[in-house]
Amino acid sequence: MPTFITLLNWTDQGVRAYKDTPKRYESFTAALQKLGCKLLNIYWTVGPYDLVVVLEAPDDETATAALLQLCGLGNVRSTTMRAFDRQEIDGILAKATG
């Protein structure tokens, strides 16, 4: 399954309810499973982003739907990147070089 790395920032609402972050983590994990996604890891961070999420989804559309659900709750804003593992990049390079 494709891998996605998402950088999250808490909104004002999310910061006010910081104590609920473990509950929100559990809810997000359950929502991902319903969509056929898998949460690989989540990190609470210090710096320009408050959390880093690594997840797998069947496709771009499903990953987008999952993150729309998450951000629609109003606690976070996201920036998402598609990540490629070694095998995937080898295939990409083979296509690029003909």
- Tell me the Cα Rg of the chain: 15
Residue-wise pLDDT tens digits, 7-52: 999 999 999 999 999 999 999 999 999 999 999 999 999 999 999 9
Q: Is 82 helix (H, G, I), strand (E, B) or coil?
A: strand
Domains and CATH numbers, the chain: 3-97 (3.30.70.920)
Residue type, 25: Y
Instruction: Give yes or no for a contact between 26 and 42, defined as CB atoms under 8 angstroms apart.
Output: no
pLDDT given for residue 98 in this prediction: 84
Longest distance between any two alpha carbons in the chain, whole Å: 53
- With tokens 């950088």, the residue in question is 7
- pTM, two decimals, is 0.92
Question: In the 8-state DSSP scheme, what is residue 19?
Answer: G
Is residue 66 predicted with pLDDT exceeding 90?
yes
Residue type, 31: A
